[in-house]
Amino acid sequence: MTEHEERSKAKIPGEDTGIEIKHSLCAICSPSHHCGLDCYVKDGKIVRVEGTPEHPYNHGRLCTKGSSQRSYIYREDRIKTPLRRIGARGEGKFEPISWEEAYRIVAERLGQVKEAYSPNAVAFYSGYSKWYRPIYQRFAHVFGSVNFGTDDSVCAVSMKMGNKVTMGGGAAPDMAHANTFLGWNYDGYYSHHLSVEGVRKLKERGGKVIIIDIRCTPAAKNLADIFLQIDPGTDGALALGMAKLILDNGWADMDYIEKYTYGFEQYKQLVDQYPLDKVSKITGLKPEDIYEATKLYATNGPACVNFSASALVHRINGFNANRAILCLMAVTGNYDRVGGNYPIPATYLRQSAGFHTRDEQFRIEKYPGTAERIGAQRFPLWNAHYDEFQSMDLLRQLEEGTPYPIKAMFALGFNAKMFPESDKLLKVMAEKLDFIVDVDLFMNMSANYADIVLPACSSVERSELKCYQGGYLVYTQPAIAPLYESKSDADILCELARAMDLDDELLKGGYEACVEWIIDGCGLTLADLKTSSLPMKVPTAQLPVKPGKYLKEGFKTRTGKFEFYSTAIAAIDPKYGLDPLPSYVDSLADQDDEETRMAYPFYFCTGARKPYAIHSRLHDTPWIRTLQPEPTCELSKQDAVHMDLKDGDTVTISSPYGCIDMKVKTTSKIKPGVVLALPGYTKANVNELLGRDHLDPYSGFPGYKGMRCNITKRQEEKA
Ligand SMILES: Nc1nc2c(c(=O)[nH]1)N[C@H]1C(S)=C(S)[C@@H](COP(=O)(O)OP(=O)(O)OC[C@H]3O[C@@H](n4cnc5c(=O)[nH]c(N)nc54)[C@H](O)[C@@H]3O)O[C@H]1N2
Ligand SMILES: Nc1nc2c(c(=O)[nH]1)N[C@H]1C(S)=C(S)[C@@H](COP(=O)(O)OP(=O)(O)OC[C@H]3O[C@@H](n4cnc5c(=O)[nH]c(N)nc54)[C@H](O)[C@@H]3O)O[C@H]1N2
Ligand SMILES: [Mo]
């Protein structure tokens, strides 16, 4: 009896269960942690899911989101066939059509736009899903458009750009060798639950943990030796203040600074403007707490820091706040040293697994030309350092038609609720676009605006290439056949490439041909990968990746040094006013006039992660929805008392851009004046309250986590 058979017998009573356990992966969540999933399949249907015990990443564990897999994939609103719109845009009236018909229409209509305007008039967009990205980006470029853009416009890339212009590479924490972990906006239990183990082990070894957050999270409660509950959006000032303390108290690593860094004198002048009492006022923290945390971080080394993909960089001052924290690594000599933070080379989909693939080359080798991508003029730093359009400028370019009109959008997983002024974006798309295609698993408010809607299948219904830390690679096999007439995104793109007769034999050759090309040279072939349903060790993986490369060979910046003063930013036209130093500005600086302050006195922070939610994906998944049936915001107990609010009351949250209603949950975990809420609800979309120009000028990232709002008890509740 195989191990699988033994397990299914042990778990499910009865002699012949007819159940087969198939390995797959859960892709509901972040691509950096797609857990191995065991699907118990009976008669072509998944009857149970568990984490895969033998999987090198999650070792059998599965979170709330992953456990909802069945409820997710068997949702009623799955798109079942290709659809053609027959009502007005947004109305939601469609008729089923065949795949052949759908491909024919898409090929013809995109071809017309290309002919009448230019290939760049077609914007190719992707929502959060990442697995098909190399295929998709190449598809857009082979079509001839420079305009490929994704949710990277708002997720993680601001942080990665900070790394690029400061060190030239990433900043992975070397948790296994650190004595101190500075968990700066680290909410591991909620957003990266498998990372908690590393922090726990550090504590078991006698290591110390500092957590800096605006809310008292499980990480603060369970892991922190020192917890700083900072006022939202003020982290940049704290980081500069900490640097001053470190320098003034002789805790700095002056040898490191001298040998490996650039721009220290200018940086020191900036830092000197942030004495402890001033920083205490800005951040709402006690001077003695800042002092203790700084001393621990600087003197109990080696110390590593956590960098968040969203918490700070979802603010208009976020890029430089993040950079100010990066600089602390150099001040204390903790970058590229054992126990600090260090660069790890990317493997596939920009993930690190310690071996080389050709996915970057696959993405960009067909880049079609010199035209400016969407957002290029407005966000020159983004444009210089990332090979996608900045989607936060899409609404403007659609409206104004400059520097050239956008006339069609082809999207995989388009979700307008992720964009500021979501309603406005949909309205303008309806007016300005000749043709819209959306590929999704579920019918939603954005897909209702498309002319053609195509049904995608989920991760358990498809094959996909995936790498994992530790030098692993897997090519998954479908646990069940695609539901209804749905297909894998990669297959859709490759079939469409054939229907459009694009000039690219790889794409036309299909997903597996592309995968073979991408992994060629890594030491495993697709045929090898197909012999195992679990991740395989890649022979060329060089592990463990050791710190010290940049210190030896030079940093990947213009000066070859760690740049306190960024020469990449200095190279941007001064008219944009970007500061090469990590200077601090207020996170509400553009909403600071007296009138706005009085009308919208609360600080609205949206999207701090919760274990039962991810963007728009799970709010309509029945089993998960029972955990929090109504869109709900969190408010401090003090504010609630003041406003005569209790749990379950309905409030109206308003901004200069609109208002939404949510239920209230009172909490003692956040400070007075702060309102927290999740994005992604259709009934109460927080991004309708966010202005389209409330953007970080360095990255173009929106201030999702720092904007003004007002909150009032709804009239009926008052009665
Ligand atoms: N206010 C506020 N807004 C935010 C954030 C915040 O913190 N606050 N966070 C931002 C961040 S960091 C991110 S990453 C974005 C994410 O924002 P989105 O990109 O909107 O993410 P999702 O809602 O997860 O997915 C988008 C769509 O993809 C579909 N989808 C799921 N799987 C697949 C698939 O395999 N194929 C296809 N074709 N479609 C699929 C989903 O059904 C959904 O309709 O949201 C951003 N928006
Ligand atoms: N469960 C779940 N997990 C997810 C996601 C999800 O939607 N749900 N999304 C995934 C995606 S796309 C992303 S980008 C990542 C984001 O991953 P993270 O960046 O880890 O997640 P966040 O919860 O946005 O932020 C981390 C912490 O920062 C805190 N914070 C907010 N504002 C501030 C501030 O001004 N200063 C400080 N010091 N702390 C602050 C929040 O309270 C939170 O505890 O999560 C990924 N993981
Ligand atoms: Mo994200």
Query: Of the candidates 274, 281, 160, which has an alpha carbon nearest to the alpha carbon of residue 583?
Result: 274
Predicted local distance difference test score (pLDDT) of residue 576: 98
C-alpha 401 to ligand 1 mean position (Å): 26
Using the mean position of ligand 2's atoms as its centre, give its distance from the Cα of residue 314 in Å.
10
Q: Which residue type, as a one-letter code, is found at position 5?
A: E
Q: Whose CA is nearest to atom 9 of ligand 1?
A: 607
DSSP-based three-state secondary structure for 122: strand
User: Of ligand 1's atoms, which has the minimum distance to the CA of residue 458?
Assistant: 35
| Ligand number, closest to the Cα atom of 609 | 2
Whole-number Å distance, alpha carbon 151 to ligand 1 midpoint, is 7
pLDDT at 500 over 70: yes
Spell 654-683 as b/e; 16+ CB within 10 A means b: bbebbebebbbbbbebbbeebbbbbbbbee
Residue closest by Cα to atom 19 of ligand 2? 308
pLDDT of residue 607 exceeding 70: yes
Percent of the chain with pLDDT over 70: 97
Q: Give, as one character, the DSSP assignment of residue 231.
A: P
* pLDDT per residue as tens digits for the range 227-255: 999 999 999 999 999 999 999 999 999 99
Pocket test for ligand 1, best of 76, 418, 489, 617 (most atoms within 8 A of CB): 418
Atom of ligand 1 at shortest distance to CA of 310? 12
Which position has the token pair 């008729």? Answer: 95
Q: What is the pLDDT of residues 515-561, one digit of tens each?
A: 999 999 999 999 999 999 999 999 999 888 889 999 999 999 999 99
Pairwise CA distance, residues 294 & 545, whole Å:
29
Contact by Cβ (8 Å): 416, 426:
yes
Residue 587 Cα to ligand 3 middle (Å): 19
Query: 552: burial class by Cβ within 10 Å (0-12, 13-18, 19+)?
Result: exposed
Ligand closest in space to the Cα of 613: 2
- CA 93 to CA 646: how far, in whole Å? 41
CA of 82 to the centre of ligand 2 (A): 35
Residues with CB under 6 Å of ligand 1 are 127-129, 151, 154-155, 310, 314, 412-413, 415, 418, 439-442, 444, 456, 489, 606-607, 614-617, 679-680, 686-687, 704
Q: Please give the Cα distance from 88 to 90 (Å, whole number).
A: 6
Residues 6+ apart with CB under 8 A from 152: 386, 388
CA distance 298 to 295: 5
CA 223 to chain CA centroid, Å, is 24
Mean pLDDT score, 681-693: 97
- The whole-number pLDDT of residue 33 equals 80
How far is the centre of ligand 2, averaged over its atoms, from the C-alpha of 186 (Å)? 7
| pLDDT tens string 379-419 | 999 999 999 999 999 999 999 999 999 999 999 999 999 99
Question: Which atom of ligand 2 lies nearest, measured to the CA of 155?
Answer: 14
Q: What is the mean pLDDT of residues 346-364?
A: 94
Q: 701: CA distance to ligand 3 center in Å?
A: 11
Can you tell me which residue has the tokens 């060629």? 520
CA of 25 to the centre of ligand 3 (A): 19
Closest C-alpha residue for ligand 1 atom 23:
616
Q: How confident is the model at residue 95 (pLDDT cuts 50, 70, 90)?
A: very high
Least confidently predicted of 6-15, 176-185, 547-556, 624-633:
6-15
Average pLDDT over residues 560-569: 98
Considering only CA atoms, which residue is closest to atom 5 of ligand 1? 607
What's the pLDDT tens digit per position in 69-94? Answer: 999 999 999 999 999 999 999 999 99
Mean pLDDT of 164-172: 96
Atom of ligand 2 nearest to the CA of 212: 38
The CB density around residue 264, as the number of other CB atoms within 10 Å, is 21
At 8 the pLDDT is 55
Residue nearest to atom 27 of ligand 1 (CA): 413
Count Cβ atoms below 10 Å from residue 718 Cβ, excluding itself: 9
Among 8-12, 304-308, 535-539, the range scoring the smallest mean pLDDT is: 8-12
Q: Looking at the predicted structure, is the pLDDT value of residue 2 above 60?
A: no
Q: What is the pLDDT of residue 242?
A: 98
Find the ligand nearest to 679 CA: 1
Nearest Cα to Cα of residue 102 among 122, 86, 81: 81
Which ligand 1 atom is nearest residue 417's CA? 20
CB atoms near residue 534 (< 10 Å): 13
Measured from the alpha carbon of residue 684, the closest ligand is 1
Q: For 479-518, give one letter per residue: b (16+ CB within 10 A) or e.
A: bbebbeebbbbbbbbbbbbebbebebebbbebbbebbbbb
- How far apart are the C-alpha atoms of 692 and 319, rounded to whole Å? 18
Quick check: 632 pLDDT over 80?
yes
CA-proximal residue: ligand 1, atom 13 (nearest): 155
- Quote the ligand 3 centre to 151 CA distance (angstroms): 7
With a CB cutoff of 8 Å and minimum separation 6, the contacts of 514 are 134, 135, 138, 362, 490, 494, 506, 507
Q: What local confidence, expressed as pLDDT, does residue 16 receive?
A: 76
**Distance of CA 318 from the midpoint of ligand 1 (Å):** 21
pLDDT band at 714 (very low <50, low <70, confident <90, very high): confident
- Residue 5: the pLDDT is 56
pLDDT exceeds 70 at position 1? no
- Please tell me the distance between residue 439's alpha carbon and the centre of ligand 1 in angstroms: 13
Q: Which of 10-24, 257-271, 601-615, 679-693 has the lowest mean pLDDT?
A: 10-24
Token pair recorded at residue 666: 């009172």
> What pLDDT shows up at residue 543?
80
User: How far, in Å, is the centroid of ligand 3 from the Cα of 154?
Assistant: 7
Residues with CB under 6 A from ligand 2: 29-30, 155-156, 184-185, 187, 190-191, 212-215, 217, 230, 232-233, 235, 308-311, 605, 607-611, 613-615, 705
CA angle, 600 as apex, 595 and 605 as ends, to 5°?
140
pLDDT at 549: 95
Q: Which atom of ligand 1 is nearest to the CA of 415?
A: 20
Among protein residues, the one with the nearest Cα to ligand 2's atom 38 is 213
Taking the centre of ligand 3 as the mean of its atom positions, its distance from the CA of residue 155, in whole angstroms, is: 4
CA-angle at 692, arms to 91 and 603, nearest 5°? 110
Task: Give nearest CA residue, ligand 1 atom 14.
Answer: 155
pLDDT score of 366: 97
Higher pLDDT, 717 or 24: 24
Q: Is residue 636 predicted with pLDDT exceeding 70? A: yes
Instruction: Tell me the residue length of the chain.
Output: 719
Find the ligand nearest to 322 CA. Answer: 2
- Which pLDDT score, from 0 to 100, does residue 345 have? 86
Mean pLDDT of 136-141: 98
Query: What's the whole-number average pLDDT of the chain?
Result: 96
Strand-pairing partners, residue 351, are 348
